[in-house]
Amino acid sequence: MNAIQVRDLTKRYDRVLAVDAISFTAPAGATVGLLGGNGAGKTTTIAMLLGLLVPTAGSIEVLGHDMARDRFAALARMNFSSPYVSLPARLTVEQNLRVYGHLYNVAGIDHRIGELAGELDLTDLLDRPAGNLSAGQKTRVALAKALINRPELLLLDEPTASLDPDTGDWVRTWLERYRAESGCTILLASHNMAEVERLCTEVLMLKQGRVVDRGSPDDLLSRYGREDMEEVFLDIARNRRQAVPA
Amino acid sequence: MSPGLRRVWGLMYRHLALYRRSWPRLLELAYWPVLQMCIWGFTATFLAKRMGGSIATTAGAALLGGVLLWEVTLRSQMGMSISFLEEIWSRNLGHIFVSPLRPRELIAALIAMSFIRMAAGLLPAILLAWAFYAFNLFALGPVLVLFFANLMIMGWAVALGVVSLVLRHGAGAEPLAWGVLFGLAPFSAVFYPVSVLPGFLQPIALALPTAHVFEGMRGILLDGTVHWHHLAAAFGLNAVWMGGAVLLFMHQFQQARIRGALMNIGE
């Protein structure tokens, strides 16, 4: 079963074609990476998957729900985290989690907050205003918010951007473990090639709004004859080298 | 609690929690209504001393009643607009709109917060008017509830219009949250009857629910009569204003989803 099914998804702003008839699926339990340079269409694609943006054409089915007709049923079963969308800075971490616990109709909200605080090492931060936290702490709080409703689908937009290597590695390890334990599907947009290589079971390479290649990290490395995903990324971004056909 | 009500409460909790940690925010709620009451209270006292007699007392009551009831509309409008703007300022709108919160639940939460802000701001001013200027707003009788309801609905309708403009034009429309209602004040006949306005402006005034409420207030204070036709007109006009405002909001919300404005609103 697919957690995400996208067909001919297109987004046009006046004369700018941001996403150009892309199609892809994300099997349940997979971690799919959206990879591409700035302006490739990653954030626009995620915004359409979240119902924040109406597509110009094409269809999106999330967890069996058509996003054009039934987006709220899907939104209750998914969640989202991005370092570019903040949580209210003057609310404490606990208050923030409580707000989203209510918005997502989470049962046993106190227990869930305690559970997440324990798992994400937030217990000592619960009474602190969210705006007073370090980048790493904010990322952990954003993850706690994204997991408050035990989502079946998690959309992550550059989850380790601006984190130091140690904290970034901690987040990646945690995400790996969480996916293995929960079976949730993850769609990840990232500029961090090592992160994509480590976490993703499949990668979609986006360029100028189109999917120009796709495959598992091993498959892409093999077809481009490269040692790491960064080289594959540069090959595609700069048209340096063509892949061997799959 | 149903999931819908819980989502409404979740958004209300987000705003109420801010007040638990911030006395300046609490103070700000009552600051302007109390200040207004002080200024107009002293003005009414001065007029009563200069003019003397029952006419001065009645005029003073109409003045203070006008000040307090106008604050109902103003605080309702600002309470709703500012609650929405708080989400933009905290860059939290992206999280709100990707949660299962429906637009109608967002409106319900904003209305509830507006009511709480209005009540918290106005109660000290009402008490001040009673304690220092011997003006008891509740002497208007049970009909006061109907006046309040109409003035609040008018405030919410204007606030939804402001929110719609913010969705359409972004941060550039934010100053309207503070100023837009003052533009309607001259036509709302807060301190004078509609008949004082030039003939060509009177239809504009009579299209505003607020003008009918203030005519109704003066009817009670000056003649001791409840003008039910004014109240009926106010409710009818409010139905049109609020209905129009909701349609405008829903349209602009959908347009914002098409343009991608929800992703970067406030910038």
Over residues B170-192, the pLDDT tens digits come to 878 888 878 889 999 999 999 99
- pLDDT bin (cut points 50, 70, 90) of residue B204 is very high
The CATH H-level superfamily of A1-77+152-246 is P-loop containing nucleotide triphosphate hydrolases (3.40.50.300)
**Ramachandran category for residue A29: left, alpha or beta (phi over 0 → left; psi -120 to 50 → alpha):** left
Residue ranges per structural domain of chain A: 1-77+152-246, 87-150
State the Cα–Cα distance between residues B114 and B107, nearest whole angstrom: 10
Whether the pLDDT of residue B267 is over 60: the answer is no
Whether the pLDDT of residue B208 is over 90: the answer is yes
The answer to whether A10 contacts chain B (CB < 8 Å) is no
- Contact residues for B239 (Cβ-Cβ < 8 A; gap 6+): none
B95 and A91 within 8 Å at the Cβ level: the answer is no
- Per the DSSP assignment, residues forming a β-bridge with A59 are A7
Token reading at B236: 């009818």
- pLDDT bin (cut points 50, 70, 90) of residue B265 is low
- A212-231 per-position pLDDT tens digit: 999 999 999 988 888 888 88
- B231-248 per-position pLDDT tens digit: 999 999 999 999 999 999
Give the helix/strand (H/E) hosting A211.
strand A210-215
pLDDT over 70 percentage in chain B? 99
Q: Calculate how close chain A gets to B10, using CA atoms only, in Å.
A: 5
Whether the pLDDT of residue A141 is over 50: the answer is yes
Average pLDDT over residues A132-152: 92
Average pLDDT over residues A165-186: 89
Please name the amino acid found at residue B168. Answer: R
- pLDDT bin (cut points 50, 70, 90) of residue A65 is very high
Q: Which of B130-145 are b and which e, b meaning 16 or more Cβ less than 10 Å from the residue's Cβ?
A: eeebebebeebeebbe
A105 and B101 within 8 Å at the Cβ level: the answer is no
- B44-102 per-position pLDDT tens digit: 888 888 877 777 778 888 889 899 999 999 999 999 999 999 888 888 888 899 999 99
A111-120, A143-152, A156-165: segment of lowest average pLDDT: A156-165
- pLDDT bin (cut points 50, 70, 90) of residue B163 is very high
Smallest CA–CA distance from B260 into chain A, residue: A53
Q: What per-residue confidence (pLDDT) applies to A241?
A: 66
The mean predicted confidence, pLDDT, of chain B is 90
Residue ranges per structural domain of chain B: 3-8+31-264
Average pLDDT over residues B20-45: 88
Q: What per-residue confidence (pLDDT) applies to B134?
A: 86
Whether the pLDDT of residue B112 is over 90: the answer is yes
Q: What per-residue confidence (pLDDT) applies to B266?
A: 54
Q: Which of B121, B120, B128 is nearest to B37 (CA)?
A: B128
Residues of A within 8 A of B260 (CB-CB) are 13, 44, 47, 52-53
Residues of A within 8 A of B112 (CB-CB) are none
B90 and A86 within 8 Å at the Cβ level: the answer is yes
Q: Which residue has the higher pLDDT, B261 or A106?
A: A106
Report the complex ipTM: 0.89
> Counting beta carbons within 10 angstroms of the beta carbon of residue A119, is it exposed (0 to 12), middle (13 to 18) or buried (19 or more)?
middle
Residues of A within 8 A of B21 (CB-CB) are 90, 92, 129
The answer to whether A88 contacts chain B (CB < 8 Å) is yes
